[in-house]
Amino acid sequence: MKLGAFSISLSVKDLETSKQFYENLGFKEFAGSMAQNYLIMKNNNALIGLFQGMFEGNILTFNPGWDENATNVEDFNDIREIQLHLKTKGIDLMSEADGDISGPASLMVADPDGNVILIDQHR
């Protein structure tokens, strides 16, 4: 199963403070904006999303069809294939992708410890 680019999405209290902290660890701003209350920070192929006021807790994020540079990859599993696979394995979904359309969609699951996993396909 090819889940695509991986990042951790962190719920932060102060976006500017978090940005400075991760810059001190060697991360650079990659996407997003302060005005939109989120930044994607990158260090080589490591990605961290910083989100202020958008959700509670932290989320593991996968982007089918993208690599760590948000560049399209040709060989990937569509989110609807992933969703079907998860269902056949008996995994309960918190939210589902619409199986009747193609293109961008997302789904969410929680692991046995309650960690939320977002699978977010942008194409």
| pTM for the structure as a whole | 0.88
What distance in Å separates the CA atoms of residue 58 and residue 60, rounded to the nearest whole number? 7
- What's the pLDDT score for residue 84? 96
User: H or E stretch including 9?
Assistant: strand 5-12
CATH number assigned to the domain comprising residue 39:
3.10.180.10
β-strands 46-52, 59-63: how paired? unpaired
Q: Binning pLDDT at 50, 70 and 90, where does residue 99 land?
A: confident
What's the number of domains the chain is made of? 1
Structural domain including 33 reads 5-121
Residue (of 106, 93, 15) closest to 54 by Cα position: 15
User: 37-63 pLDDT, tens per residue?
Assistant: 999 999 999 999 999 999 999 999 999
11 has a pLDDT exceeding 90: yes
